[in-house]
Amino acid sequence: MRNAALTLGIIAGVIGMIVGFFGWGYTEVVNRVGEVPDLIEQVDNINLVRAGALLAPLLAIAGGAMARSRALWGGVLLLASAAGMYAAFGFNVFTMFPISFAALGGVLAIAAGKPDEPKAHF
C-alpha cells in the first residue's frame, strides 16, 4: 500500500502542478489584461487559487515521497493536498484525477497500519 501511495502522490503532484500553472497564469493574465465580460472574469479569491496552485502539488509530491518511510505523515499530507486542490480549484474535469489520486494515496498510506517494515505508525 505504501508503494501505491507513493505512486499516486507523485502522479497527483505532477498533474496538480499542471493545473496550478494554468490557475496561477489565468489569474495573472486577468490582472494584466483585464476582464472581458462573459468571457474572461477574475476568480473570487485570487490568493486562495495561487496558494492552492503552489502548495497543493507540493504537498502531494512530499506526501507521496514520505509514504514509504513515514506512511502516517505522508497520508496526512496527501489528504491535505486533496483538500487544498478542492478548495482552490473545485472538482471539475481538470482536477478530478489529481484530487482523486491524492485522496486515494492518502487513504492507502494511512491504512498501511501494519507495514512491511517493523515500525508501524499506530
Q: Residue 120 in contact with residue 114, Cβ under 8 Å?
A: yes
pLDDT of residue 101: 98
DSSP state of 79: H
Residues 6+ apart with CB under 8 A from 7: 64, 105
CA distances, 63 to each of 49, 81, 102 (Å): 21, 8, 9
- Which pLDDT band holds residue 109 (cuts at 50, 70, 90)? very high
**Segment 88-113 mean pLDDT:** 95
Q: Is 92 exposed, middle or buried (0-12, 13-18, 19+ CB in 10 A)?
A: exposed
* Domain regions of the chain by residue span: 2-35+45-111
| For residues 105-121, average pLDDT | 76
